[in-house]
Amino acid sequence: MNSERVAGDLRRLDVGAVSLNEPLARHTSFRIGGPASVYVQPGTKEDLVRTLDWVEGQSLPYFVLGQGTNVLVSDQGIDAVVISTSRALRYVEARGQTLVAGAGVLLTKLAHKAQQASLGGMEFAVSIPGTLGGALVMNAGAHGSEMRDVVWEMVIWQPKAGLRALAPEEAEFSYRRSAFMTHAWIAVEATMHLDPKDPPAILESMRHHMAYRKKTQPVGDPNAGSIFKNPEGDYAGRLIEALGAKGWYVGDAEVSAAHANFIVNRGHATAHDVLSLMRRLRSAVFARYAVQLRPEVRWIGPGEGGFEATWENLWCEAGEGLQGPCG
C-alpha cells in the first residue's frame, strides 16, 4: 500500500484527522502495538461512512478500532488504513424506553446515561471497559448479563451495501461471539430496549459492580481484559490460578496477582511477550487438566487470516507442543 498517497487522498476527502505510521500502542488499553500505515479519525458518522466507502472502493486493507480494549496488536503493526470510531460515534440519546447510541460510545457512559433516564438493564456494562461497538462484536457481558439481553436493533455498514439495519437474531449472539466475527460488518449504531427503574437503585447496582471490579481485577495496570474464555462449566481464571501461575511473566508481560485470567503490561511488554505467556499458560492448563483454553482477546496482526489471524494458526506456528491439536 502506498501510504503517503492514501493519506493524501483521505485528507482531500476532508473526513477527519489523518496520520502516517501511527503507533497503535497509543490507542490500545494494553499499551502494546506497532504502527498503522495510515490512521484516520473521522469527525462524524457521515465522515466515517464516507471513509469506509472510499477505502472499500479502492480495495484497500482496513481495520476499524474503538478504544482497543480487547485486542492484542502485533509489534510489527499493520499495513492498512486503521479507522478510529473515537470521535464519530460517541453519541447517545434516551428515547422513551430505549437508548440509541453510536458504536464509539464508552459502555460506562452508556450505563450512566441509562441511569439518568431511569432505565434499568445496562448496569452490568458499567464495569466493562471499551466501546459499544466492541461489546457488540464480542457479545460482552458481566454479572450474569450480556449485550444480547438488551440490544433491540443495530445499524451496520456492509461492503458494497452501505448502511443497513440488523436484527439481533441476525447477529447470532453467543458466549463472547457474534456474526460480526465472520462477516465484514462494521457496527455503527445500536438501540437498547430497557425497563423503567428507580435511579437510586440503578446507581447502587452500578456502584456494587464497580467496587467488585476494583477488588477483583487489575484496574490500574494496562491490560486487555480477560485473556481466555471460560471453558464450559469452569473458569479460566480458576484453572490458571490453580497452577500457581499468578506472577508468571515473560518480559514485561505478567499474569496479574489480582486475577489470573488477566495479563498486565508492567511497562514495556511487547505482543511477543504476551503471546509467549499465553502459550505457556495454555500448554500448562492442557497438560494438567486436558482443557484447551480459547482466547477472548482478539489478535490484530500478520497471519493467514489477514489482520486477525486465527489463534489456531498462531498456536501451530509457535510449535508449542501441546498434547493435543494445536487449535
Residue that has been written with the C-alpha cell 497452577 in this structure: 243
Is the C-alpha dihedral spanning 264, 268, 272, 277 positive or negative? Answer: negative
Per the DSSP assignment, residues forming a β-bridge with 42 are 16
Is the C-alpha dihedral spanning 222, 75, 295, 292 positive or negative? Answer: negative
Q: What is the dihedral of CA 5, 7, 11, 17, to 10 degrees?
A: -170
- Determine which one of 148, 176, 282, 298 is catalytic: 176
Decide: helix, strand or coil at residue 264.
Answer: strand
C-alpha 265: how far from chain center? 17
Q: How many residues does the chain have?
A: 327
d(CA 255, CA 274): 10
Q: Which of 231, 224, 227, 229 shows the shortest CA–CA distance to 279?
A: 227
Is 295 within 8 Å of 257 (Cβ atoms)?
no
- Determine which one of 123, 283, 296, 298 is catalytic: 296
Q: What is the dihedral of CA 145, 285, 305, 162, to 10 degrees?
A: 0
d(CA 13, CA 55): 11
- Determine which one of 226, 254, 279, 282 is catalytic: 226
How many CB atoms neighbour CB 164 within 10 A?
12
* 296 is an active site residue: yes
Grid coordinates of 148: 444480547
CA geometry: angle 157, 162, 167, nearest 5 deg: 50
* 226 is an active site residue: yes
User: b vs e for 19-43, b when ≥16 Cβ sit within 10 Å of the residue's Cβ?
Assistant: eeebbbbebbbbbbbbbbbbbbbbe
Catalytic residues: 176, 226, 296
